[in-house]
Amino acid sequence: MQTLKLIVIGNGMVGQHFLEQLVEKSQQQDPTFNIPSFNIQVFGAEPVAAYDRVHLSEYFQSQSADGLMLAAPDFYQQHGIKLHLHEAVLAIDPSAKTVSTAKGEYKYDQLVLATGSYPFVPPIPGNTQPHCLVYRTLEDLDAIYQSSQHATTGVVIGGGLLGLEAANALKMLGLEAHVVEFASRLMPVQLDPDAGELLKAKIQALGVTVHTEKATAQICAGSEKRLQLQFTDGQHLETDLIVFSAGIRPQDVLAKAAGLTLGERGGIVINDQCQTSDANIFAIGECALWNNQIFGLVAPGYQMARAAAARLCLDAEPKFLGADMSTKLKLLGVDVGSIGDAHGKTPGSISLRYRNDQSGVYRKLVLSKDGKKLLGAVLVGDNSYYDNLLQYVLNGLKLPANPEALILPTSGPAPTLGVAALPATATICSCHNVSKGNICSAIDAGTQDLVGLKSCTKAGTGCGGCAALLKSVLDHELTSRGVTVKKDICEHFAYSRQQLYHLVRVGNIKTFSELIAQHGKGHGCEICKPAVGSILASCWNEPVLAKPHVALQDTNDTFLANMQKNGTYSVVPRIPGGEITPKMLISIGQIAEQYQLYTKITGGQRIDLFGATLDQLPLVWQQLIDAGFETGHAYGKSLRTVKSCVGSTWCRYGVQDSVSMAVLIEHRYKGVRAPHKIKMAVSGCTRECAEAQSKDVGVIATENGWNLYVCGNGGMKPRHADLFATDLTDEQLLRYIDRFLMFYIATADRLQRTSVWFGNLDGGLDYLKQVILHDSLGIGAELEAQMALLVDNYQCEWKTALETPEQRARFKSFVNAPAPERDSFGFRSERGQLIPSQFIDAASPRLKAQVSAPAIPTETFAEENR
């Protein structure tokens, strides 16, 4: 058997995938077939082995690259691969078949260029100054981190995919972030104008200022900050650091010097087998140019790696014949999806659009001229439609007679094609070219979990965009074979939420990093991180903005406020039992008047203040806390309100003091985190003015004490609560609520309401009574102790955030930045208050007439309330 000297230049994601493919193909080949064996050497310019660049920003969370590594430490030695780290190749001599480094010269028979790309830095005068950085490698991230240590503001030049990732990284470092984009919209390659406009609004609502249609003329020293960007329109922007993320360029310098054919605008020209103009030299990934295209995603690079490995192993297939460039992303918490021909460039194509500014979603379909095939799609604000639409595009499936139904809203979840309807040839994972048939074969061979499926097929290990669909296919195929489907929370934890809760509680685990190190793998995802964050809070009640927990939170918890449809936030102070003193009531009015906030008394007997911008949140809350208020946790999966009537204190029908009990209950359980939000109520008699029987926990007074109701809820699917216990004393009532809540928290699924949990509870009401009232499991005292710990550890999260410098630093960009113009959020005056203008713009003529009563002009309103 012939042994060939193979050199790979580049140890990035694509280069590493090539090595794995080569190893796999060599092991799978028939030993009687005369294929070559390889003596492999790999040269990497960086000091560390291949790592995951897709999740690069997560490096800031741990300051460790361990979770990003793509291969086990012994991978190279195990397969006889010599890895040269921090040893850049300086030259290639194709005639002598050698490569040269600073350490010497190395011979090759076959050479693979996986040199990737480098960040494009626009030729702006002043772009080489200190604190002008790029976002590409771990070393780049270390430089950004160092630059941020004494900074308050950062600017990213470039509003594409990587630019928004870089902006997210700056926010994670506690900086006020700006994005400067030359084009008229964000992500111009993937999104159309409407989608780009909506994405900009969403990104700005999250605290990142976006400047589109801005060309930077020069960078000079700032007057108040380190640097100043001077724009061609005469405006300027001061910042402490600049990150260039304006695109990539193929790393083709070695190839050019070696005389290989390049494209007119760069890139190493390759054929379908990824061979360059020299048949002994291959190029894969972002350095390669196929059919005059550079592919800047990991999935096409992986496909090239497979094609090159196949050619070296004398396998005629697969070839590289182009790649799907669809992407599913979550940028700063905002869903963005782009599929196929998103811009409708196909001749004769037609498009269907759905846009809802109120809910912040945009969906577009690009159809063939006859309307029978889906060519492309764009999604902003909701990626639940992505997997479904991708399958129509990838597999050329015939559209339904009414294709608009694929994107129009429904009363339930997004419509799905159904994995049963997908053919065996359907591509599930485009990164690794894994079909539904490949997955079925793996299941037939004995694979029964997601981890095993990913291991044997590689599906879901690239960009991760197919994870949800992969799980659906696995569950469907296992069920059809009569196999019980495991309820793992996600690919990173082979446990359900209930099991993770038990591991956290029993193991006294206090952080996500501890949990994933002991019981998981990888670095987590958007499913397990918030779930674990909730579990940790439910067990130990530490502030969610504490350093170990803040990266786990969703947008609302991150800013301790609910984002509203126009990008502003609501402020909801706690008003226990609906009881409030005149002085505190006046203070709310004064604060609302000062900041021009819309005020509304809610069904939960609180006063909501709407329309606060991010920069105002710390200012508003500081005044509320000074006036004696606490956070109402309206943003969290926790206790919201305890509603009450006036009870026996005032009402002639009342038989117990419902207000005092409601206040007691709300103070006891405030801040308790749960799988879903919790609402309670206390009525002073059976006339039920507090509507206790529609709550998760309802209490109704009797002549002899209190009746306890559980597991009710209102909303889209109302459920009447069940009578649980009667004529309880105050002490008994609190004891049983303690046990009930902690049992629910310990056993419910992720994001499961008490009513749904109860409906799935084996044994139903009788079983729940046995556990809570009669302590049939012997855990009553334990549940009570767990609740006591949460009660003792309670902190007002806003008070803690404002008093703790490290936590308040998360809001410093909003406190120190100039206040944004409120008009930019689209307000108008109605009935003496400011409301979002799009509410009126989108209303029917009849409704417009109803709300168009004489109103105070906006200017007058602002003047009167200064």
Report the binding-site residues for siroheme. Answer: 689
Among all chains, which residue has been given the structure tokens 């990173």?
A: 492
DSSP reduced 3-state for 837: helix
Q: CA-CA distances (angstroms) from residue 200 to 70, 95, 549, 741, 839?
A: 33, 52, 28, 41, 20
Distance of CA 708 to the CA centre of its chain: 39
117's enclosing H/E stretch is strand 117-119
**CB environment 48-65: b (16+ within 10 A), e (fewer):** ebbbbbbbbbbbbbeeee
φ, ψ for residue 528, nearest 5 deg: -80, -30
From the number of C-beta atoms within 10 Å of its C-beta (0-12, 13-18, 19+), residue 501 rates as buried
Crossing angle between the packed helical segments 467-480 and 436-444, to the nearest 10 degrees = 50
Residues 428 and 466 sit within 8 Å (Cβ to Cβ): yes
**Angle, alpha carbons 672-487-749 (nearest 5°):** 20
Among all chains, which residue has been given the structure tokens 């999104």?
A: 191
φ, ψ for residue 694, nearest 5 deg: -110, 20
Alpha helices, H only, 654-803: 658-669, 730-747, 754-759, 764-772, 780-792, 797-803
Size of the chain in residues = 866
Q: CA-CA distances (angstroms) from residue 34 to 30, 283, 434?
A: 9, 25, 28
Q: Which segments are annotated as binding site for [4Fe-4S] cluster?
A: 645, 651, 685, 689
Rounded Cα–Cα distance for residues 671 and 660 (Å) = 19
Q: Which segments are annotated as binding site?
A: 645, 651, 685, 689
Crossing angle between the packed helical segments 450-457 and 467-480, to the nearest 10 degrees = 110
Beta-carbon contacts of 527 under 8 Å, excluding residues fewer than 6 positions away, are 489, 490, 750
Closest CA to 191 of 349, 356, 376: 376
